[in-house]
Structure 1
C-alpha cells in the first residue's frame, strides 16, 4: 500500500471531500460554497461523528464517516454507523480502502461500539468485496432504506 496517513478531516479539506463525494454520487446536485462549508462545520463540530480522510502524496484520496450512536440495549454500548465510504478511482486497488475501513473500525471499537454497520448500493459488487474483506458480514442482518419524499 502507498504511504497513507489517516486523520480526522479539517475545514480546509472541503474541496477535496466534495470531489470524492462527486465520485461516489455523480448524479447528486452540486453542493458547494457557504452551504457546504456550513454542513462540514456541523459534521466536524459533532462529538458523535468522526470524519476520517486518507492522504497519499499530499492528496486526499479516500474518506469515511463514522457516527457513534448512543444505545440502550447491550449494556448501553453505542452502535457505529459507517457512511460515505469512497476512495478516488485513480487510487483504488492499492489497499487504501481496506486500510481506511480497518482504521475506522478501530475508532468504533475504541468508542465502545457493540457493532459497526454500513449500507451499500445493491449493485456495488466491488465495494461489497471490500466490505467482506474488512470483516463485514452481508448476510448476518438486513438493511432497509427509505428516502425522504421529494420536495413538493
Structure 2
C-alpha cells in the first residue's frame, strides 16, 4: 500500500478539495477558486508535506505533516499532523495507514524527534492512531480557537 502514497501537488487539488469537504463540517471550507491558492500556499510552505494515497488514479486519503524547527532535542525538528481524512468509500482498506506511515518516514528522514497530532473526541479515530503507536500518556492536547465572527 505504501507504493500508492506520494506527496500531493497543485494538480491534485480537485481530489484534495473533495477530501477536505469530507473532513469539514462546511463552515471552514473556502470556495473552490480561493481554495486553489490556499492549497498552493500550503504545498509550498517550508517543512510541509501533504501526503496522499491513490486508488485508480484518484487520491482517496491524505494528511498534512508540518515539520517545525526546535531549540530542544539538539535542534531536531518535531512534526505536527493535521487533516487526516479518507473518503468514506475507501475507509478500512489501509489507505490512511499507508499515508500515516509515509509521513512518519518523512519525519524520520528529517531527523524529527516526535510527531504530534490531535484527534476529535466524537469520531472513532483514537484507536486507529493508537494502533499506529501514538499515545496520550505523556501530554494533554489543548486548543485555543482564534475564530473571529464575520
Q: The TM-score by the shorter chain falls in which range?
A: over 0.9
The equivalent of 1:98 in structure 2 is 97
The aligned counterpart of 1:148 is: 146
Structure 1: gaps (5+ residues): none
Q: Deviations over 1:114-138 (max 9, x none)?
A: 10010111122x2111101111012
What secondary structure, in the 3-state scheme, does the structure 2 residue paired with 1:84 have? Answer: strand
Aligned residue-pair number: 150
Residue 137 of structure 2 corresponds to residue 139 of structure 1: yes
Q: Distance in 1 between matches of 2:28 and 2:83?
A: 16
Counting only pairs closer than 5 Å after superposition, residues 24-63 of structure 1 correspond to structure 2 as: 24-63=23-62
| Structure 2: runs of 5+ lacking an equivalent | none
Residues in 1 aligned to 2:29 and 2:100: alpha-carbon distance in whole angstroms: 27
SS of the residue 1:97 aligns to: helix
Q: Which runs of 4+ in 1 moved over 4 A?
A: none
Alignment RMSD (CA, Å): 1.6
Task: Output the TM-score relative to the length of structure 1.
Answer: 0.91
- Decide whether the 8 Å contact of 2:20 with 2:29 is kept in 1: no
TM-score, structure 2 length as denominator? 0.92
